[in-house]
A and B are shown apart, each in its own frame.
Chain A
Amino acid sequence: EVQLVESGGGLVQPGGSLRLSCATSGFTFSSYDLHWVRQAPGKGLEWVSVIGTAGDTYYPDSVKGRFTISRENAKNSLYLQMNSLRAGDTAVYYCARGFMVAGANFFDYWGQGILVTVSS
């Protein structure tokens, strides 16, 4: 059974830092792209970052230069280092497994999510 479990969330002051972790099991971790997707309270889903199997990373402008995604294949774990946090980063953060088939590119498994609150 594929499982993804996030940890490391909590309350942080504006300008502060937080590191999220995502422990996975049930699949060959090194063979998949991994993502972070967030959801602000009462809002929709927003893709935040991806790390490919070769370690290549991509971010939208809203987090570029502040967030860093990384992976540790030996531990089947995904991370998100978040710096210079703003109130607008307040959200539930999900880790998700990426899947590609014949040009389709989507998320086939999701963690349960972890809340990050940026507030003074």
Chain B
Amino acid sequence: SYVLTQPPSVSVAPGQTARITCGGNNIGSKSVHWYQQKPGQAPVLVVYDDRDRPSGIPERFSDSSSGNTATLTISRVEVGDEADYYCQVWDSGSDHLWVFGGGTKLSVL
């Protein structure tokens, strides 16, 4: 099965840039999607297909992917960005066809 690896936590000061990584075998060849989940709430799609954002998601959220690492970049971080972030890919060879990373807690200090 395909495995996605995320750091458990990332900390950043308001106004700075946060980078959350998602590691997977040759993930650069896959389409990667990112979700934001605030406490007690459902996940929200913030980036899909490596670069696109749903309506209402600010341009501060972007993604890049190469080799074995995908990175969600949040520019000019705000206190309201504090949340858990999950990467996700689709892998036809996996038992779990839709594969999630373990999640990263973003703390805005």
> Which residues of A are interface residues toward B (Cβ below 8 A)?
35, 37, 44-47, 50, 58, 60-61, 94, 99, 101-113
Can you list 9 contacts pairing A with B, beta carbon distance less than 8 Å?
Answer: A45-B35, A45-B100, A46-B96, A60-B97, A101-B49, A106-B98, A107-B33, A107-B88, A110-B42
- Which residue on chain A has the smallest CB distance to residue B41? A112
Which secondary structure dominates chain B's binding surface?
A: loop
- Which residue on chain A has the smallest CB distance to residue B33? A106
Please determine whether A94 and B43 come into contact, CB atoms closer than 8 angstroms.
yes
How far is B33's CA from A17's CA once the two chains are assembled, in angstroms?
Answer: 33
Which A residues are in CB contact (< 8 Å) with B41? 112
How far is B38's CA from A112's CA once the two chains are assembled, in angstroms?
Answer: 12
Q: Given A35-B98, A45-B103: A102 and B43 within 8 A (CB)?
A: no
Most B CB atoms within 10 A — which of A46, A106, A110?
Answer: A106
Which B residues are in CB contact (< 8 Å) with A61? 95
How far is B41's CA from A110's CA once the two chains are assembled, in angstroms?
Answer: 10
Task: Give the contacts of B81-109 with A (CB-CB under 8 A).
Answer: 86, 88, 90, 95-103
